[in-house]
Amino acid sequence: MTGFTAAMWAEVLKTVRSKVPWLAALGISLAPLMGGVFMLILKDPAWARRFGLVSAKAQISAGAADWPTYFSLLAQAVAVGGLIVFALIAVWVFGREYTDRTVADLLALPTSRVVIVIAKFVVVTTLSTMLAALVYALGLVTGGVVGLPGWSLWLAACAAGRLMATAGLTVVLITPFAWAASAGRGYLPPVGAVFLVLFLSQVIAALGWGAYFPWSVPALYSGVAGSELQELSLGSCLLVMLTGVLGVAGTLTWWWLADQP
Amino acid sequence: MDRAILTSGLTKRYGHRTAVDRLSLQVRKGEIYGFLGLNGAGKTTTIRLLLGMIRPSEGSAWVFGVRVYPGALELWSRVGYLVETPGAYPELTVRENLEVFRRLRRVADPKAVERAIERLGLGPYADRRAVTLSLGNRQRLGLAKALLHDPDLLILDEPMNGLDPAGIVEIRALLQELVHQRGVTVFMSSHLLGEVARIATRIGVMHEGRLIQELGTEELVRRCRRWLVVDARDRRAARAILEAAGFSVDSGENGELVVTGDHAIACPDDVARLLLERNMCLTRLSVEQEDLESYFLRLIGVAPGGER
């Protein structure tokens, strides 16, 4: 067994035994289900009027009740909700070692700290990708149950690509929170950072500068700014990649060089 | 090379505070080195420096001749350690916690986990989740992790913490067995001088980041002050007789006579004879020794009540 296999085995066991992934799945499952409720309201306005304000709000944010709109909603949910849920997973995977005081046990082993950090990132990425896939799968079932019009296999494939690409961008952007959990030695500082970044991403996107703020980019790409989906500019793409690389490098450097508790 | 640990001018500063100040020590292979000090003396910081968990501000540390740094992977396979209160993954069982570290420690033999469980008496708790363990059993789990790979060197920070008296005796016996039968070197910190004196072959005393004394356990015991306590029906007369004979006499807390000097301690029978010849009725005669805690506090300049 190589060091990486051992580290992966350990991380997977810790993840499987924990309630956190299940709670994350439950949390992110609300997105397609709530989207389905909006679609239901939009599809049958007479029935929806009985819901008063909820109906009015659904009209404003969602537009038409069809598959393209619903798929767009799902991608936006992954961009915004995913930023929170995926980031919290990263915070948990890294921060727990400090909160459970197990980090000291990981620092002087024949398995390198670098390998352990990489295994953690692999688990965060895999889990986040699975959650994005869960959103899509639940979306397909929910949309089918609601009976949305406008279905085509091509549309479903394109929507899957868009959703998974949005999830990919979001996953890349959560790496700095792994560093924050390590440097902050626990959960609270990085959780604060997650919500601060989420707030800033909304404000900066609303001001029209979202393409220059990495954490606004996935939401813009998912089409949150309008009904038309936006293509990713090279600059935005590079900004996201640079943020991801800095997050990974920062976390690795922290585990390797910083004084540990 | 018979040295397991060697440090040279090892210093760690946090801003203006010096946690460890130019520490130079040597621990020979097969030795149990007791590292003593009050809370905040720099013991845990030293242990972290020895394990590459923190970087020295100055100086360096070598373990088995290898300079300590985080990437010394070969070295870490020979070292088992326990730093402060041991942590554990709360949702994993005791067995799973150990299995995680068996793999990360690259121990090929799967039976190593069962051996560690048996060695530390964790059998009844093996399938319990770590979150349900008592402090003492968490400590045992921490020690099991340290021993999992049969290390050549054990670096233990307060290993007796949280253990009940039976547990302390058991762990003491286990460490002695490892040293005597397998030639393992033990470097253990503690603030319990009596406990360390029972097990250590050599003791280093840390105070305010500095190693202020290093000596063998026998030497430590020898350096503790001794005196002869004498009590008689007529204390005043007894004191006068002893002083007239050239003995140095003080009064104890309850008015008893405290006689110091090598001759009085070596030959208390001479003192007794002297007093009996003068028809003194003796009610007490005993050679007493300063306890280790008092010696330790005297060494670091702290009065038993806590005043410096």
Q: Given B195, B222, B249, which residue is the final one in a domain?
A: B222
Same domain, B67 and B165: yes
- Total count of domains within chain B: 2
ipTM above 0.90, yes or no: no
Same domain, B210 and B262: no
**Full DSSP string of B161-198:** TT--HHHHHHHHHHHHHHHHHH--EEEEEES-HHHHHH
Backbone angles phi, psi at B36, to 5 degrees: -105, 150
Greatest Cα-to-Cα distance within chain B, rounded to the nearest angstrom:
78
- Write out the residues of chain A at the interface with chain B, using a CB-CB cutoff of 8 A: 1, 3, 6-7, 9-10, 13-14, 17-19, 100-113, 116, 256-257, 259-261
pLDDT digits (tens, 9 = 90+) for B248-271: 999 988 889 999 888 888 899 999
> Which residues of chain A neighbour B132 with C-beta distances below 8 Å?
none
**Full DSSP string of A147-197:** T-S---HHHHHHHHHHHHHHHHHHHHHTHHHHHHHHHTTSSHHHHHHHHHH
Same domain, B235 and B212: no
Has residue B153 been placed in a domain?
yes
Cβ-defined contact of B52 to A9 (cutoff 8 Å): no
Mutate to test the interface with A, among B49, B83, B141, B155 (most CBs of A within 10 A): B83
> Which residues of chain A neighbour B145 with C-beta distances below 8 Å?
105
Per-residue burial over A98-118, b = 16 or more CB atoms within 10 Å of its CB, e = otherwise = bbbbbbbbbbbbbbbbbbbbb
Same domain, B27 and B111: yes
pLDDT digits (tens, 9 = 90+) for B155-193: 999 999 888 889 999 999 999 999 999 999 999 998 777
> Which residues of chain A neighbour B79 with C-beta distances below 8 Å?
108
CA distances from B188 to B37, B49, B203, B258, B269 (A): 11, 14, 10, 37, 41
Cβ-defined contact of B53 to A259 (cutoff 8 Å): yes
Which residue type, as a one-letter code, is found at position B301?
G
Same domain, B206 and B279: no
pLDDT digits (tens, 9 = 90+) for B271-308: 999 999 999 999 999 988 777 777 778 877 776 555 55
Same domain, B256 and B186: no
DSSP label of B83: -
To the nearest whole angstrom, how far is the Cα of A91 from the nearest Cα of chain B?
16
To the nearest whole angstrom, how far is the Cα of A119 from the nearest Cα of chain B?
12
Cβ-defined contact of A108 to B79 (cutoff 8 Å): yes
CA–CA gap between residue A17 and residue B202 (Å, rounded) = 44
The residue-averaged pLDDT of B16-45 equals: 93
Same domain, B132 and B247: no
> Which residues of chain A neighbour B85 with C-beta distances below 8 Å?
101
Q: Which of A100, A111, A256 sits opposite B89 (nearest CB)?
A: A100
Same domain, B100 and B58: yes
Backbone angles phi, psi at B34, to 5 degrees: -90, 125
**8 Å CB contact between B136 and B163:** yes
Same domain, B171 and B232: no
* Residues listed for chain A: 261
CATH number of domain containing B266: 3.30.70
Mutate to test the interface with B, among A4, A11, A107 (most CBs of B within 10 A): A107
Containing domain of residue B246, as a range? 226-289
Has residue B301 been placed in a domain?
no
Same domain, B136 and B271: no
Report the chain B residue with the minimal C-alpha distance to residue A103: B87
Confidence of residue B222 (pLDDT cuts 50, 70, 90): confident
Same domain, B151 and B239: no
pLDDT at A193: 94
Same domain, B277 and B200: no
Q: Is B80 on the interface with A (CB under 8 A)?
A: no
Q: Which helix (H) or strand (E) holds B155?
A: strand B153-157
Low-confidence ranges of chain A (pLDDT < 70): 1, 48-63, 224-231
